[in-house]
Structure 1
Amino acid sequence: MSIFTASKERATTGLALIAGVLIIGIIDNFFLMWLFLGVVYLLAFKEAMSLFDIKKNDLIYYAAGLWLIAAFYPYSDDLFVLAGVIYASAVAFNRELTWKNFFVFIYPTAGMLFIFSMYQEYGVISLFWLLVVVGMTDVGAYAVGKSIGKTPFSATSPNKTMEGVVGGVVVATIGGMFVGLGIVDLGISFIISFMVAVGSIFGDLFESSLKRTAGVKDSGNILPGHGGMLDRIDGYLFGAIVMLVLLRGLV
């Protein structure tokens, strides 16, 4: 595949994703949002199983059941803790069970439940805020890194530079704090935007470490030109947890 064809494919997929997310956000229907995030979650869950080298394929049914409960339970992120208690009890009871199988109920499950909880508590504007901060972190880091980046950031992701990371965080903080004014005041919005931007950097880095360990370039191939679902949402999975925790603690 030529560079031109690959770039065109990436751009087409990217525009389709943006259009789909905007349409769902504008409609702002609880069931539609639950369904959309559920599809994203299960696709990411399946990819995470592969990255963690988990062979127990029936875990996807437990994930689907957990997401179904989230539609009716008002504090979705609590279900992640409950799942941990249940699995710890099962491990204590059955010594043949392994903790590795629970990794997918931490990542990406926790992040997706926090995203859904944030929608339940703070509405679609909070998801738009998250989208802007993480998106601007990625774009800012790429632009600044390509133009002036020289200092390596982490061996986990050799293409990232310290200059790019700082540039991305600065751009996202400034842009995101204005979106956050729809929920909080300027000072709190600045703090949350900054912390979410930093969190998204490490969300991306964490997924890179999983792929490096698994020996793969992408988490999957479901999104032409972009790789897998986890490749697109890695920053959001960490960013959402940071944002919801800070919203609850500072507002």
Structure 2
Amino acid sequence: MLDRLKSIEPARLYTAGILIAIILLVVFINSYFVMWAFFGICYLLAFYEASKLYGSQSIGIYAAAIFIWALSAIYPAPLETLFLVLVILASYQAFTKKGSWNDLMPLLYPTVPFLFLLALYKDYGIGAIVWLIFVVALTDTAAFFGGKMFGTRRFSETSPNKTQEGVFIGVAVATLIGTLAGLSTVSFEKAFAITVLTSLASVFGDLYESYLKREAGVKDSGRLFPGHGGILDRADGFMFGGIIMLVCLRGLAG
């Protein structure tokens, strides 16, 4: 088991340390504008990577992405800005008979998840964001090390390196510790349920991004983070997890 752990790239650990420091700074500042700017930078980088994975050839969608995020800063319901742009783009596509679904897909993923993340912060504050970070980070980290040490059975054909044992350990650790992080927002029972669902969602967020890379024939979504790949490689779990957490909070927490 120790031999498996020794195979971990040092660059992966160094990069993780830098990312943690940046996230801690953003959380400490706890400003809507700073959070909007932070999510915005991540979103635009993720949008670029996703466009490449989808094989989009449209330049106009980048203008649409910038417009969506700029509007989300001042519009009271960030999620609604997406549908305005989708109506405009669908109308343009129908009128000109140009473009393809690959051009529209980046406006669903990663656009929708990042709008959900912004709405999560706006509606439930920094506590919910910290909770999400705990759940997703613990799921990913525990699954990674658990899989390295105990993994023998493949979890999915989409991601050969992900094991059933690793996923189980990741979700279990995230649930045990992540539930405590949610107690400042909801009751224990609701925190437990939301944590489990969010943890599972983050696993499939990772899996979906692996599917996109597999379809595109690439190992990583980008090269932004040494040892980790691109922004999508780091944010995939947060994107699916953020959607589920917000839906659960609105549905279960009232």
Q: Is the 8 A contact 1:76 1:113 kept in 2?
A: yes
In the alignment, the residues of structure 1 paired with residue 59 and residue 221 of structure 2 have an alpha-carbon distance, to the nearest angstrom, of 17
* Displacement after TM superposition at 1:141 (Å): 1.0
Alignment partner, residue 188 of structure 1: 190
Residues 96-154 of structure 1: CA deviation (Å, up to 9, x unaligned): 23222110001100110000010101011111111110001111111222222222110
Q: What is residue 150 of structure 1 aligned with on the other side?
A: 152
Q: Structure 1 residues 53-62 or 212-221, which shifts more?
A: 53-62
Match of 1:208 in 2: 210
Q: State the Cα deviation string for residues 51-79 of structure 1 (Å, max 9, x = none).
A: 00112234222111110000001211222
Q: Distance in 2 between matches of 1:88 and 1:191?
A: 38
Structure 2: distance between partners of 1:49 and 1:10: 25
Which whole-Å CA distance do the structure 2 matches of 1:27 and 1:103 have between them?
33
Which position in structure 1 is the counterpart of 2:3?
none
Match of 1:171 in 2: 173
Q: Output the amino acid matched with 2:48.
A: K
Question: How far has the Cα of 1:165 moved from its partner?
Answer: 0.9
Which amino acid is 2:21 matched to?
A
> Where in structure 2 are there 5+ consecutive unaligned residues?
1-5
Partner of 1:106: 108
Alignment match, 1:82: 84
Q: C-alpha separation between the residues in 2 aligned to 1:97 and 1:17? A: 36
2:75 corresponds, among 73, 91, 95, to 73
Give the letter aligned to residue 133 of structure 1. V
TM-score norm. by structure 2 comes to 0.93
* Greater Cα shift, 6-15 or 95-104: 6-15
1:8 Cα deviation from its structure 2 partner:
2.8
Query: Which deviations, in whole Å up to 9, do the C-alpha atoms of 1:1-48 show, x marking residues without a partner?
Result: xxx9x8332222211110111011111111111111110000000000
DSSP 3-state at the match of 1:153: strand
Deviations 1:203-223 (A, max 9, x none): 000000100111111000011
Aligned residues: 249
Q: Which letter does structure 2 place at the counterpart of 1:88?
A: A
1:80 counterpart letter in structure 2? L
Percent identity, aligned pairs only, is 45
What RMSD over aligned residues (CA atoms) do the two structures have, in Å? 1.7
Give the residue type in structure 2 aligned to 1:37: F
CA contact (8 A) 1:172 1:193 kept: yes
Shift of 1:161: 1.0
Residues 45-56 of structure 1: matches in 2 within 5 Å?
Answer: 45-56=47-58
Match of 2:66 in 1: 64
What one-letter code is carried by the residue in structure 2 that aligns with 1:148?
F
Corresponding residue for residue 36 of structure 1: 38
Q: Does 1:218 align with 2:217?
A: no
The structure 2 residue matched to 1:132, chosen from 134, 137, 151, is 134
- What TM-score comes out, normalization by structure 1 length? 0.94
- The question of whether the paired residues in 1 share the 8 Å contact of 2:138 and 2:170 is answered with yes
The one of 14, 24, 28 equivalent to 2:16 is 14
**Unmatched runs of 5 consecutive residues or more in structure 1:** none
Tell me which amino acid in the other structure corresponds to 2:91: S
- In 1, are the aligned partners of 2:58 and 2:99 still within 8 Å (CA)? no
**Partner amino acid, structure 1, of 2:101:** W
